[in-house]
């Protein structure tokens, strides 16, 4: 997984599966654009990603999460629930505003 924290007035944590970086997925009028400029960060293990998510949720960060592995990590971290997961072109994603 790749994790990047974007420092703004409210931190944004961008997380995606490594294999999805730089790809675009479309379904009807919807699209997921996993741009390297936004999601390109550090390669991390599932354990480290879960740790980052749990820490950043305490900081009231927002999250953009794309991909099966990344979504599963977010579920394990307890920051999303199954009903908060969408899919475009069979790629799961979640946007979290806390």
Partnered with residue 97 across adjacent β-strands are: 62
Structure tokens at 78: 């307890």
pTM: 0.94
Residue 98 pLDDT: 66
Residue 97 pLDDT: 83
Dihedral through CA 92, CA 23, CA 8, CA 78, nearest 10? 20
pLDDT band at 86 (very low <50, low <70, confident <90, very high): very high
Q: In degrees rounded to 5, what are phi and psi of residue 32?
A: -115, 120
Q: In degrees rounded to 5, what are phi and psi of residue 7?
A: -85, 115
Over residues 4-61, the pLDDT tens digits come to 999 988 899 999 999 999 999 999 999 999 999 999 999 999 999 999 999 999 988 9
Over residues 72-84, the pLDDT tens digits come to 999 999 999 999 9
CATH number at residue 50: 3.30.1860.10
Q: How many structural domains are present in the chain?
A: 1
Residue 45 pLDDT: 97
Residue 88 pLDDT: 97
Residue 29, domain extent = 2-97
Helix axes 46-58, 68-77, angle to 10 degrees: 50
- What distance in Å separates the CA atoms of residue 40 and residue 70, rounded to the nearest whole number? 14
């Amino acid at each position: 997984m790749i994790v990047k924290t974007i420092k703004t007035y409210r931190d944004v944590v961008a997380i995606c599966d490594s294999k999805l970086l730089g790809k675009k997925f479309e379904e009807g009028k919807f699209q997921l654009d996993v741009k390297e400029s936004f999601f390109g960060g550090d390669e991390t293990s599932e354990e480290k990603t879960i740790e980052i998510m749990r820490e950043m949720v305490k900081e009231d960060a927002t999250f953009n999460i794309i991909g099966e592995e990344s979504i599963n990590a977010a579920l394990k971290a307890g920051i999303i629930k199954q009903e908060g997961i969408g899919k475009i072109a069979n790629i799961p994603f979640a946007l979290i505003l806390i």
